[in-house]
Structure 1
Amino acid sequence: MKKCPECGRENPDNAKYCSFCGHEFKEVICKICGHPNPPDEKFCRKCGNPLQEGPVVISKRYKLLKMIGFGGFGKTYLAEDLQLFGKKVVLKEFTGHAAKDRDFFKKEGMILAKLNHPLIPKIHGFFKDSEGRTYLVQDYAEGKNLRQILLEKHKLPEREVIIVVKSVLDILSYLEKLDPPLIHRDIKPENIILGENDRIFLVDFGAVKEYMPSSSEKEIVIYTTGYAAPEQKAGNTHITSDLYSLGVVAIELITGLPPKKFRNEETGKIDYSVLSDVTPEFKEFVMKLTAQKPPSRFKNADEALKFVEILEKMQTLREVAIDPIKGSIRDKEVKKIIQMGEKLGISKEFLKKIIDEEIKRRKHREYAKSSSSTSKASTLRTRLTKLSSLQVGTNIKLVGRLKAHPVAVQKAIFSPKGDYMITAGKDGIMKIFDTREWRRLIAIRGVPDDDLITDLHISPNSKFIGISTREGLLKFWQMGTWVLAKSIAAHTEEIEDFVFSRNSKLVISGGTDNLIFVWNIDTWKKVTSLREHTAWILSLDYSPHGDILVTGGMDSQVIVWDTKNWSILKKFKVHEGWVRFVKFSSSGKFLFSLGTDRFLNIWSFPDFGTRAKIKIEAKGDFTGMDICPDEEEVYITAGDHLYIYNIHTGEKSGEMDLQTKATGITFFPKRYYFITSDSEGFVKLWKKVIS
């Protein structure tokens, strides 16, 4: 809520005018980061820096230096205690108005006052300022939080992640042994501080809860999207819920990926294929932490710590006995590893399981290494799942493959004429290949290490290559010269998808801020914004033969827009879950939407007649969808499989095992070739053989 400076009444944060006196709220733009803020705000809500000249002093004692947190209950500041010679402290200001919020704030203070742990900042009391605002004073844990460290390093090595996890587990163990036990309920990178001498602090106990499973008191649901265990989101927090959140943090630290890239927010299910580069024992540990149901997790922090001891012993064993072995592990070496492992106190059963996984991992690496040298003319075939009605192996064959990136390929596309293939990797690099000789022409650094390419497109007139980024940027390079033409700070949050208009005059982008922005390419200025979606926009497409835009998002809506006047032509809500992909066929006669509810909807266009609603029997999350140029079949990638469905009958035409997790699929313009990209950095070229 924000207070009107004219009449003093409270208004919603997003109000442009006071609901009581009509006063216009003029936003204050931060000079450091450019973020707009409410007019009465003293510190930027995005970067935390001061918005006004001169110091801000509370109760003639606490000089505010920076806002370090902002949430529903209050604001958190870094401050200097002027009575203690400038000692740095944390000041939490309560900004809620409901009585239950005030009680919750006080309860946090009372719980913190009882804690006595060297890695939990101590509380020093409450006070009210002259305007009646309530504050809580805490010790300041000096250092960098894990979010800041990730921005600097992108990801951490396994050894360092184990150190962090062990330290947090020690704190959770202390909380679990209190009477009653405490659950933090907000384990995330921002709340884990790496201080001096590599000491790990756990901060922000604003969501802390006493664990009393037999209590009939209704739980106040509090969680951070991306990290909360399924039962916590449902209002049934368990003693193991913090372990789940810590497991998500561990995956983020070791992969550099945000949770939404490997975790289904609706179910809490984790895609463990992102852990392809970690040791088998660490993967097993994380899988145990992040099991969907509490009984399948470690029963408490102490049990998880015992497994960490095994991880530490395995580090020693790997350094001495496993890593020095180059290539495959032979039987006599297996025997030696087991003997040494048993001396370290690791069970023989566990060692055998880990060695088997290590052998598989090395074989997979050898396969990938040999695959990267395969030429375009390779006759190697992938393993196909044959159906009784159609022999998929006879009409789709692998033409060739290439190693495009050392990490996962985020997206791979063709130019409108098919003379170029462009790939974008999770390493932030774009690569352009000549499709006549399949040789790389140039590699372009698209984003710095602390950002990520989220989408990639070429304008229909082949003038520009464009990318969108996790930090909300749109960037464009001139085709042929490969010179950066423009970079636009389009959104304040991640852009999930963007598209060019058919005449290449406009770019339309949609992101996690629930907004769609339209940009003029000639002037590089914003034309308009579309605000009909109520949740993240996940997919956009532009009709190849009309001034029509289609959008889909996490609010389950498919919206069709007339881009001549930006009015809504049609609005569908045919999915129970998110709308993952929307797409027009190349003729513009069909419109497709694919949702997380596993249904594919097909409409004829422009009359919006329903052609089919197909249940897609697939394993894993959907990662790509494209329509065959003859408009007979739709191809969908999910997990490590390709699924093919007939558009007109709704029947499955085929299913193919791609052997690695696919990240997308794209057809060659007007031909029966297509490419799939994968999490191992490969692009594979396939051909649909027409009999």
Structure 2
Amino acid sequence: MLSAEIFCANCGAANKPEDDYCFACHEPLQHASAPVAVSTAPAKQLLRQRYRVLERLGQGGMGSVYKAEDTELGDRPVAIKELSQRGLNQQESREAEESFKHEALLLAGLMHPNLPRIYENFSESGRWYLVMDFIEGETLEEYLVKRGGKLPWSEIYEIGIQLCSVLQYLHTRPTPIIFRDLKPLNVMLTPNHQVYLIDFGIARLFKPGQAHDTIAFGSPGYAAPEQYGKSQTRPSADIYSLGAMLHQMLTGIDPSTTPFAFSKVPNIPISLQALLDQMLDLNPGKRIAYVEMVREALQRINSKNSTLLSSANRVATAPASQNRPATPVYTPPTTSQPATPKLSYVASRINQSTSAGTASATGVAASQSKSNAAPDFNGSKPGYQSFVYVPGTYSPDPDQNTNTPLSEPVMPDSYIGKSVRTYPGHMGIVTSLCWSPSSQQIASAGKDRTVQMWHVRGGGQMQIYAGNLENSRSSSIEAVAWSPAGKLLASASDDGIVQVWTSDSLQTRFTYRQPRQHMHALAWSPDGEWLASASNASLHIWKALNGETIASREAGYGTINSVAWSPATNNLVLGYEERIVEVMNLTQQRSWKREAIYRGHQAAVNKVAISPDGTQVASASADKTVQVWDTTSGQRRLSYHGHTAAVYTLDWSPDGQNLVSASADGTIQIWDANDGTLRFTHPSHNPTVYAIAWSPDGRYIASSAHSQVHVWQASDK
């Protein structure tokens, strides 16, 4: 979206078009003498002899955004952002062009599920164009208006976690990127609630040691107060903006109506109010410094208070007026009522606490003049394990900070869903992943034609197996599997090649070829001697170290999407595109015997997994179900209907008591394998989770998310 906001020439704050004075510094605003007509690209015009313009999606004072088709790639829909320089003087034109190119360069090097991809930028007929993903949906601002200004907790949590994910990605780039303009207008929401951060026009790179930003920018109500000064903006400014958005979604109050003043939110847990207070602290030195702390806090709050929050934050169905006056949503208790103690944040390895109260707008200058300068952000993090909430000493004066250090946390440091590591090493969608038998390492494969080995806790060096890159016809690695002894790995590509290589030296031991076949799945025999490879046409069993064929058979029901080897027998389970699951036994005579056939699904079977004791099969299907059935009889024991879209993948817990499944509905769910009771829904919302694996020791789950892998705790122990 392009905005018609007016930026203050003195401090850079973004003001509404009808304002005459800057809300931040109160200096007069310089309005254009007359509106400039923006020349827009007519519908059906062909830009760069490639992009056919279909319609204009939005227009601002500097240009427009269009929906178009890429005629060179099958009329793929794209969005094209146009910068028009008509009506600008030479200096303004140069600044606008630099800002436009800056956005293109920033986005071109980024890859994250919550960011649009940039395809190219070019100039034509005196205008600059930026070609990017077309995102089907609406802005969060539009969505809020439709929902009456505020949202139920489940949606707030879902949106908040996704924003934490993308901000953490930006803040942890080799050179950190601060977005600086986080607000509902710059957040797109797709129909399945995938969040996209858009409009990087004022995002900037953080440079350690630099004292000032070149230009100050911000949107009223959402921008941190330091953005209107001349100091360099830090990542904590984005945390302030996120806090303002969370407050708005909880209360329905637009922060631009009362900048820097946020009322208490009624009927929410103390821990959530404390989190908001810390995010919205006007002193950047006292504000939460890292967005991953915010994400961990939200996850903890949700896991402990989801029922309370759901009942306390119901929304009205009637739309609220966009121009309603700001009204208080909280009345402070009288002196006769018990006061709520203030909360502080204490790191389990740092014996200190900070104020949880948000300073009043009138006290900003005084508090900032007394405080020390915020520490330089250099990409490193203090030695903390996890930030938790502990009660501080109550003060009758809400603006009086009574920092009483307390060393013992009252909330557990360990909880289900807690992020252990996010691995961003791939340049394409992650298709498969597996754990080492020791639960210390993960091997992940993707459409970037690489298999990458890395340590879960971040130690050691990341290693890339280069053997797959030598296959010129390969465009994707579809499967990777670790041998039971941990000394070998196998990877299968879409050009019919399976490679076996050592886990320590990454040396290729054998290459097995099945020409003109697309490999989809691999499975090791329990003793690690044999490999099963499944494709669109056949199943092959062969010796891992010399390629000797043990047995083979044609695919009985179309493409074999998944294969699993029983932990104690020579039974293999095959999941087919044609809705069928077979249990086949490889006899001592190396012939095939069908043990069972399962026909319970109504659509393609995407993934099969055998329980650790070998008695049950769980099959995930495009029919939105996971079905659990007996390996011998094929009798169904359970049908799980917790997902609302195709289920891509699943895995058993090592003790066989639970299953974890991921779906196109964007959810990852842990549920009881005996009765289907939902135990946990992972907070990340991503419809591209194609691979998931439970660690052998049962402590962690690794799940893909587009080009990333997230490792998180599987229990609260």
Q: Which has the higher helix share?
A: 1
Larger RCO (CA within 8 A; separation ≥ 6): 2
TM-score (norm 2): 0.46
TM-score (norm 1): 0.48
